[in-house]
Amino acid sequence: FTAQKLSAARQHIKNTAINFMEETEQPICRFCGLEEPAGRRKRIEWIECPSCLFWYHKICWNSWKSTANVCSDCARLDA
Domains (ranges, CATH) in the chain?
3-78 (3.30.40.10)
59's enclosing H/E stretch is: helix 58-63
Which residues face 47 on adjacent strands?
56
Query: Which portions of the chain are predicted below pLDDT 70?
Result: 1, 6, 9-26, 36-42, 65-67, 79
pLDDT given for residue 33 in this prediction: 82
pLDDT given for residue 47 in this prediction: 87
